[in-house]
Amino acid sequence: MSVDSSPIQPTKPVAGRRSLFDKVLFVHLAALAILFLAQFVLSDYHHLTLARVMVLASFAVGYNILFGYTGLLSLGHAMFFAAGLYGAGLAATQLSFGASEAFLAGIFAGLVLSTLIGMIVLRTSGVSFMIVTMMFAQAGYLMSLYFGEFTRGDEGFVLQGDIRTAHLFGLSFDLTSPDVRYNIALALLAVCVLVCLALVRSPIGRILIAIRENEERARMLGYDTYRNKLFALVVSGTISAAAGAAYALLFAYVGATFASIQYSILPLLWVLLGGVGTVLGPILGTLLMFYLVDITSEYTSAYMLAVGVALIALVLFFPKGIIGTLRDKGLKWLP
């Protein structure tokens, strides 16, 4: 999409000259603060929806590190989300882990899976990369059905009992309470956003962007593109898994739907809508798309039509998404 043509954004203040008032950091913290304050004014329904959106937005932020900043379009991120989901869910039900340990187990599952998968799929590039990631995700989905004895396949399983209380640093959090859920989701999103921001403003982030713009050139300049791409894939996969693990623990449901192809397409759609290669874009995209589907499904069951039309309209008329367009229109400093 915008990947080949746009020049590298001259966004960064040179290290050492960064002032106390860091405009970029301020904007992102302000966005998080708005999300924090929103919980005091929203109705119960939107409160719950927004908690869900923030977990899914963390998934989109993770996806964007690979797609938006490294230029690798994966059609298989559902497998990383599902790795976190099942990693946490199965650790809780089969190994009777507590909530915090199950969360870490989910992240660890994503870390291992993305490293292994990355080492295979990065042998391919371009169109083959998309197809191969899609097929690995499908193999993952089929496995979640095949091992139905543990996963209960399509039907899924519900987490209940002790696992609904998280113990951390001597404190207990009741995960069934909407307020606790909202703030944990927000904390997860905040960590993902800040990690992403730090990454794209670091030297490694600039190498990733260089690979996105022209991989041959980056290689010629002496960068090990394979290792950097693998790094981006592992970070992206691990953040996606963290979102999956949080989803399982906060909303207490684990099912094969989350491993299906649909959950590989959705983060792509969210990122495209919000803005490819922007830190806040995925959050905005997830929020808008979630409500678009929510509102259309009130009037008609044809929500897939909304998703399909949105995808086509975006590539035809709006390839840079909302924040990407804003950046072109003058806010050049947005990372």
Q: How far is CA 33 from CA 56, 62, 100, 231, 320, in A?
A: 18, 20, 25, 30, 26
CB of 131 to other proteins, least distance (A): 5
Query: CB-wise, 25 or 311, nearer to other proteins?
Result: 311
* Length, in residues, of the chain: 335
Angle separating helix axes 225-251 and 203-213, nearest 10 degrees: 110
Three-class SS state of 101: helix
Q: What is the dihedral of CA 155, 161, 162, 165, to 10 degrees?
A: 80
Give the span between the Cα atoms of 57 and 192, in whole angstroms. 9
Instruction: For the chain, give percent helix, strand, coil, nearest 5.
Output: 70, 5, 25
CB of 305 to other proteins, least distance (A): 4
CB 25 within 8 A of CB 197: yes
Give the span between the Cα atoms of 62 and 57, in whole angstroms. 9
Query: CB-wise, 181 or 212, nearer to other proteins?
Result: 212
Query: CB-wise, 220 or 304, nearer to other proteins?
Result: 304
CB 246 within 8 A of CB 184: yes
CB of 83 to other proteins, least distance (A): 16
Query: CB-wise, 74 or 240, nearer to other proteins?
Result: 74
Q: Which chain residues interact with other proteins by CB under 8 A?
A: 1, 3, 73, 75, 120, 123-124, 126-128, 130-132, 134-136, 138-139, 142-143, 145-146, 261, 265, 268, 272, 302, 304-305, 307-312, 314-316, 319
Query: CB-wise, 242 or 314, nearer to other proteins?
Result: 314
- Identify residue 25 by its one-letter amino acid code: L
Closest CA to 136 of 215, 211, 188, 80: 80
- Identify residue 76 by its one-letter amino acid code: G
CB of 140 to other proteins, least distance (A): 9
CB of 92 to other proteins, least distance (A): 25
Query: CB-wise, 24 or 131, nearer to other proteins?
Result: 131
CB of 85 to other proteins, least distance (A): 19
CB of 327 to other proteins, least distance (A): 19
Query: CB-wise, 32 or 65, nearer to other proteins?
Result: 65
